[in-house]
Chain A
Amino acid sequence: MDGIRGIYMDHAATTYTKREVLEEMLPFFTEYFGNPSSIHKFGRDVRKHVDTARERVAKALGADPSEIYFTAGGSEADNWAVKGTAYANKSKGNHIITTNIEHHALLHTCEYLEKEGFEVTYLPVDEYGLVSVEDVKNAITDKTILISIMYANNEIGTIQPIEEIGKLAREKGIYFHTDAVQAVGSVKIDVKEQNIDMLSLSAHKFYGPKGIGVLYVRKGVKLINFVHGGGQERGRRAGTENVPGIIGLGKAIELANENLEESSKRIMGLRDKLIKGLMDKIPYTRLNGHPVKRLPGNANFSFQYIEGESLLLNLDMKGIAGSSGSACTSGSLDPSHVLLAIGLSHEIAHGSLRLSLGAVNTEEDIDYVLEVLPEIVERLRQMSPLYEKVKGGNTNV
C-alpha cells in the first residue's frame, strides 16, 4: 500500500452518482427512450417518470410541481433567475442586490447585466462570510427588482440568514432568488416557509448526475422564458428533456432528503473532528468561514507561510483530494474572491485548503489526514523563506 490511499474530500466540487440513482437512470437510455412530448405509449411512459421526478423535487423543497423547471445545471439556473427577472421587470426598475461572495455563475451574470444598463449592489460580508440583513435593507431602493443571495457558500461553507432575507424581500415586494447549489441535500429547505421566490440547485452536488439542475420559480414570479423553442418546461425552457438526468436528479434529491438529518449529523461529526485536529496540530492556522453557521461537510483553512497548490499536490501524492478555492477558481492565479472578501490578505489567501466531506468519508479518513497533513505543512514551511522569520513561535492566527 506504500501509504497511498484514495481519499476524496472534494464533495463541494462534485460527488459521485449513487448506485441507486444510476440504476433508476439506466433504463431511460435504452428501454424507455421515448420523447416525453410524444403522444404514443413510448412517450407517455417516459412522461410519467419525468412527472414523478418533478414531484420528488417539489416535495423536497416544499414547492408545487408546477413551480419546478429542469435546467442543464446550477449555472444555467442562476443565469435564468437573474437575467430572467432583470429583463422581465425592467419597467419596474433596474437595480439588483447580491453579495461579493457569490459563485461566478451569479457574479459574471451580474457583471454582464451591468453592461446592459442594470445597476448591481455587491454587498460585503463580515469576517465569517455572513451578509448583514440590515445591509440588505439599506441597499434597497425604489428601483430594486431582485435580491439574489446564495444559501451557502461553496468555498467557506457559510450559511446565510435566508429566512430573514426572504421575509424582508417579501415585505418590500422584491423578488428573492437564492443559489442553493451547495445547500440542497445538506440542509433542510422549505421555499414557502423561507419566502424564497426562486432557487437554483444542481444534481451533481448531492450524488446525482452532472449537467442537470433545477430552477424553482414561485407561481406568479415574472420571468422571461430562457430557451425559445418547443413547449417543454411549459414553454419557458425549450428543448427535449435530459430524461436520464431528470430521473437521476429526482431520485437523488429524494434519497438526500430521506437521510438528511442522519447523514448531516454524521458528516458534521467528522468535520468537527477534522477542524479541531488540524487547528490543534498545526500552528499559524486559521479556520475560514463561520464556526457553526456552516455546511455540514465544509472545512476551509489557511495555513500561513505556504502556498495552496503545492499543498494540494503533496496531498494528492498521499492520495488525498482537496481543493484550494473553488474548482472554477483554480484555473486562474488570483486568490479566491471569497477569501479576499472575508478580509484575508493575498498572502494568506494563497495558503488556503478546502476539504469538503461527504458520503464516502469515514473516521479513518479523518485520522489519516490528521496524520499526513501536519507533516506536509511542516515540510513546505521548512522550505518557505517566509517561515524563517517566524520560526519558534507557536500561536494560531
Chain B
Amino acid sequence: MYSEKVMDHFSNPRNVGEIEDASGVGEVGNAKCGDIMKIYLKIEDNIIKDVKFKTFGCGAAIATSSIATEMIKGRTVEEALELTNKAVVEALDGLPPAKIHCSVLAEEAVKAAIEDYMKKQGKEVESSVSAGIEPDEEACCSKCERKCH
C-alpha cells in the first residue's frame, strides 16, 4: 500500500530529534486524531541550517515528516514557505488517498515552525497552507472532522 520511498523514510527517518535552542518550533495535529507533528528549525542568516522532527502517527505521518525536513534543509525561509503538501506527496512517489492528510500536516508543521521563528523575530507573517492536492473529504479525518483544506 505504501511506495518504496515511503517505506524508506518510515524505516530510516531522517532528522529525528529536537533542537535545544531552536529558532522556531511548530506543532500541529492532535493525539485524538492519531497524528501530531513537531518540527524544530535552526535558522541563521535566513537559511535553515538544521531541522529536526518528532512525530506521533502512522507510517505516512512519519515518512512525510522525514521527507519534509529533507526538502527544507539548507533552503531559505522563503523557499521553505513554498513547500506544498503536493510536493511532499510527489517526493514520496505518492500516498494512499486516506493518507493525504499526513502530507498536509507536514506542510502545516513546517509553516507553523517558520511562523514561530518570524514571531520571535518580530516579523508579521501571513502564511497560509497551500491548496495543494484536494484530499478526498471522506478519507480525511473522519475522526476529528478536520477539513484538510
Contacts and interface: CB of A to CB of B under 8 A. Distances in A.
Interface of A: 305-307, 309-310, 313-314, 317, 332-335, 345-347, 350, 382-388
Given A305-B56, A306-B56, A333-B142, A386 B31 contact: yes
Contacts of A333: 33-34, 98, 139, 141-143
Interface stretch (B11-19, B84-92, B123-131): B11-19
B69 interface: no
B54 interface: yes
B38 interface: yes
Contacts of B132: none
A386 to B, nearest CB: 5
Interface string B1-20: 00000010011010010100
B55 A384 contact: yes
Nearest to A386: B56
Contacts of B57: 307, 310
Interface string B52-91: 0011111101100000000000000000000000000000
A307 B58 contact: yes
Interface of B: 7, 10-11, 13, 16, 18, 27, 31-38, 54-59, 61-62, 98, 139, 141-143
Nearest to B54: A385
A335 B143 contact: yes
B98 A385 contact: no
Contacts of A384: 36, 54-56
A383 B58 CA distance: 12
Contact of A346 (B34, B98, B139): B34
Contacts of A332: 142
Nearest to B30: A347
21 contacts: A306-B56, A307-B58, A310-B61, A314-B11, A332-B142, A333-B33, A333-B34, A333-B141, A334-B142, A335-B143, A346-B33, A382-B16, A383-B55, A384-B36, A384-B55, A385-B27, A385-B55, A385-B56, A386-B31, A386-B56, A388-B18
Contacts of A382: 16
A21 B142 CA distance: 42
B30 to A, nearest CB: 9
Nearest to B39: A385
A347 B31 contact: yes
Contacts of A385: 27, 36-38, 54-56
B62 to A, nearest CB: 6
Contacts of A310: 10, 57-59, 61-62
B34 A313 contact: no
Contact of A347 (B13, B27, B32): B32
B36 A346 contact: no
A389 to B, nearest CB: 11
B107 to A, nearest CB: 17
Interface of A is mostly: helix
B13 A383 contact: yes
Contacts of B55: 383-385
A335 B16 contact: no
B32 A383 contact: no
Contacts of A347: 31-32, 34
A322 to B, nearest CB: 15
A305 to B, nearest CB: 7
Given A383-B54, A384-B54, A386-B36, A346 B31 contact: yes
Given A383-B62, A385-B38, A388-B18, 18 more contacts: A306-B56, A310-B57, A310-B58, A310-B61, A313-B59, A314-B11, A333-B34, A333-B98, A333-B141, A334-B142, A334-B143, A346-B31, A346-B33, A347-B31, A383-B54, A383-B55, A385-B54, A387-B56
A345 B54 CA distance: 22
A381 to B, nearest CB: 9
Contacts of B37: 385
A253 B145 CA distance: 45
B10 A313 contact: yes
B35 A307 contact: yes
* Minimum-distance CB pairs A-B, first 10: A309-B58, A347-B31, A385-B54, A385-B38, A350-B34, A346-B32, A384-B56, A313-B59, A386-B56, A334-B143
A382 B17 CA distance: 8
A284 to B, nearest CB: 13
Given A332-B142, A383-B13, A388-B18, A309 B59 contact: yes
Contact of A335 (B27, B34, B59): B34
Contacts of A388: 18, 54
A382 B13 CA distance: 12
A128 B32 CA distance: 22
B17 to A, nearest CB: 9
Contact of B16 (A307, A313, A317, A383): A383
Contacts of A345: 32
Most interface-central of B7, B18, B55 (chain A CB within 10 A): B55
Nearest to A313: B59
